[in-house]
Amino acid sequence: MRCRSSFVLVLVLMLVLMPNARAEQRLADLTVVVYNKNVPESVDLARFYAQQRGIASDHLIGLDCSSEEEISREEYDAKIANPLREIFKARQWWTLRNTGENQTVTSTAIRFVAIIKGVPLKIRAATNYPGDAPGPAPVGNRNEASVDSELTVLGLFSRQISGERSNPYFQAFRAIGEFENAVLLLVCRLDAPTGEIVRRMITDAIATEKTGLWGRAYVDLAQKKGADFAIGEDWLRAIVDQLHKVGVPGVRDDKPEVFPNDFPMTDAALYYGWYAGDATGPFARSDFRFSPGAIAVHIHSFSAATLRDEHAKWVGPLLAHGAAASIGNVYEPYLQLTPHLDILNDRLLHGFTFAESAYMSTRVVSWMSVMVGDPLYRPYAAWLQIDSGKIDNNFKRYHEFAVRNATRPQFDYIRVASHTASTERNCAMLEDIASIEAERGNFAAAADQFAAARRCYGDGGDAERVAREEASLAEKRAGVPNE
């Protein structure tokens, strides 16, 4: 029970400290918005986002750049990186120290960068780039990258483009405004197949912050074998444990296949999965929708190779189906160098912004990742408020129960939780208790809880999902001797 208690202790400390820290320095004041002034939609979306977030007009930066998703390294330098550096210097957002021919950023007034739809997404590989020193394969000789990840180290003024760079913010646990490294920029992208989707991502994020992100988490393991894949499975299993500890009901799929097309994925607030090439399962259905404000991530090497097609890869389709934020890769990143989803989920649950959570989870920058969503979005900010509003639902009641009872021994916690869920007819809580029992190997108890949850739901998609979970449990029980 030490892990459960530690998590809640940190949550309580965050409740006390986070609002005060954020009040001292508004996140909007630390943010710039970068758009393509040659694309009218980009201009309009930049103004809309700035207005919604209260970002000052002099923090909007229009670039004269290509509208293509993929550009050359020369275009990136001439049309994006160099103009941005000049603006940061001219507006005195950076304090610079000159050391010979080099410049060093010693302090910064900007920590967040919101890239708006219309700005290029990725930089193709270059050859014979002046000043570059390629290293050994398979990482050190690669110089293609996402535009966003390159911009995180804009303040390095470096000609070294091959290979990755270590992210000094990786595994941190503090707001970026308190982080001493002045170079790092947390760059996120407000981009999607249509401008309408981008607007909805912005408004959903802001609305969700006021009441909290409530709903289920769907975690889709792939049972991939081999040392090269173990880390991905570990991330997803860790997420399930994190969710149980704070009372976020989760549905975990252990089968190698992704969730099937007709799977009843109701109240989907979080989704983490892998490893299909294109969106499939429920996400290929025209009628599927995430809950407003949802965070959805599917691990795949080219999950964000394009954001303009709502049917291609993963990030675009997930956003088109209602998610407010996602993470993807524009080129092959190698699994170990993709964001660690367990860290992402942990930091989100602790009330950090989407940008902070995403970059705390990312081992390297100047690489292939793109963080797509409002950088300032805090989906669990309401957890950190003394009064989290008048909203009242079974998801919130389960979370509050989990926090209140976190220090109970596991067996006692399950006993009290089961009684509370039955008394209050909290069907989502009953279903999650059944999942906890199944993961602990208590198959008989899990079967009883699943049956209780199914009766609680009555009929419809939720009851159908529980029936599927019961069938999966029966398969596991059949393989356990003398169970």
Q: What is the tens place of the pLDDT at every residue in 270-311? A: 999 988 889 999 999 999 999 999 999 999 999 999 999 999
State which of 6-10, 194-198, 222-226, 440-444 shows the largest mean pLDDT. Answer: 194-198
- In angstroms, the CA 140 to CA 131 distance is 15
- Which pLDDT score is estimated for 98? 86
Instruction: Name residues whose C-beta falls within 8 Å of residue 81's C-beta, 6 or more positions apart in sequence.
Output: 150, 151, 154
The residue written with tokens 């983490």 in the block is 272
- Which pLDDT score is estimated for 201? 98
- Which pLDDT score is estimated for 390? 66
Say if residue 383's pLDDT is above 90. Answer: no
Of 78, 101, 82, 105, give the one whose Cα is nearest residue 92: 105
CB atoms within 10 A of CB 28: 15
Interior angle at CA 341, CA 338 and CA 342, nearest 5: 135
Contact 188, 372 (CB under 8 A): yes
Say if residue 1's pLDDT is above 60. Answer: no
- In angstroms, the CA 18 to CA 9 distance is 14
Where does residue 296 rank: exposed (0-12), middle (13-18), buried (19+ CB within 10 A)? buried
Say if residue 74's pLDDT is above 90. Answer: yes
DSSP string, 417-455: HHHHHHHHT-HHHHHHHHHHHHHTT-HHHHHHHHHHHHH
Averaged over 121-149, what is the pLDDT? 97
Averaged over 411-438, what is the pLDDT? 94
Q: What is the largest CA-CA distance in the chain?
A: 76
pLDDT confidence band for 266 (50 / 70 / 90)? very high
Contact 432, 244 (CB under 8 A): yes
Averaged over 187-201, what is the pLDDT? 98
Least confident of 31-45, 229-243, 283-297, 381-395: 381-395
Contact 296, 326 (CB under 8 A): yes
- Which pLDDT score is estimated for 482? 53
pLDDT confidence band for 21 (50 / 70 / 90)? very low
Question: Which of 465 and 391 is assigned the larger pLDDT?
Answer: 465
Q: What percent of the chain has pLDDT over 70?
A: 92
Contact 321, 290 (CB under 8 A): yes
The residue written with tokens 């609002």 in the block is 19
Contact 296, 318 (CB under 8 A): yes
Interior angle at CA 265, CA 352 and CA 332, nearest 5: 60
